[in-house]
Amino acid sequence: MEIVQYGDPVLRAKGKRIEVITDEIRQLADAMIETMRKAEGVGLAAQQVGKALQLAVVDASVAEDRPSRMFIDGKEVDIKEWSPMVLVNPELEYGPEKATDTEGCLSFPRVLAEITRPSTVKVKTQLIDGRFVEFEAHGLLARAVQHEVDHLNGILFIDRMSSAAKASLAGKLKRLQKAQKGR
């Protein structure tokens, strides 16, 4: 699938809740996983393939230099066994501590920025097979899930940057927006 670039209004749309996981949704999730892998990303939201739905895919296990931890019922689980993960209608509860790290976004080619976010997050979500799961994420997984759930609500990582960082990227962002309009 083609990845929607910054400037396309769908990136600002709030995703519609998924009431029933149909074959169409399952196929979309599969296509999104493939697209994320091809682009070497750790996450992709439905808005990024042009669909405003509460659906995202995440695979933080591929970034071995940026570790993740995942806990279910207080017990640590192997993130590899849970990846790639499809999040359907996910809800977050943010942890108290913050962390700053470099973030990029497949809808913003060649833009990287330091973003401060809660370092842990509790995630309540449905999986693509219909199961409901609650887990706690640390490290890159926590960051990736927050970035993707932001997308589902029409929020972009540039909204989370310091105003100084955003100002220094202003020219680049304008060029991306212009390129998008010219498509």
Which residues are known catalytic residues? 148
Site for Zn ion in 60-99 (CB under 5 A): none
Contact between 13 and Zn ion (CB under 5 A)? no
Contacts of 98 (CB under 8 A, 6+ apart): 116, 117, 118, 119
Binding span for Zn ion by CB under 5 A among 17-25, 83-91, 104-112, 138-146: 104-112
Q: Which residue is nearest to Zn ion (CB)?
A: 105
Binding span for Zn ion by CB under 5 A among 21-29, 105-113, 114-122, 135-143: 105-113
In the complex with Zn ion, which residue's Cβ is closer, 58 or 105? 105
What's the closest the beta carbon of residue 111 comes to Zn ion, in angstroms? 10
In the complex with Zn ion, which residue's Cβ is closer, 29 or 105? 105
Q: What is the DSSP string of 127-138?
A: -TTS-EEEEEEE
Contact between 145 and Zn ion (CB under 5 A)? no
Both ends of the chain: CA-CA distance in Å?
16
Contact between 42 and Zn ion (CB under 5 A)? no
Helix (H) and strand (E) counts in the chain:
4, 9
Contact in structure between 21 and 88 (CB atoms under 8 Å)? yes
Rounded Cα distance between 117 and 115, Å, is 6
In the block, tokens 């994320």 appear at 36
In the complex with Zn ion, which residue's Cβ is closer, 88 or 105? 105
Give the distance between the most distant pair of CA atoms in the chain: 50
Contact between 32 and Zn ion (CB under 5 A)? no
Contact between 105 and Zn ion (CB under 5 A)? yes
Contact in structure between 43 and 129 (CB atoms under 8 Å)? no
What's the closest the beta carbon of residue 107 comes to Zn ion, in angstroms? 6
Binding stretches for Zn ion (CB under 5 A)? 105
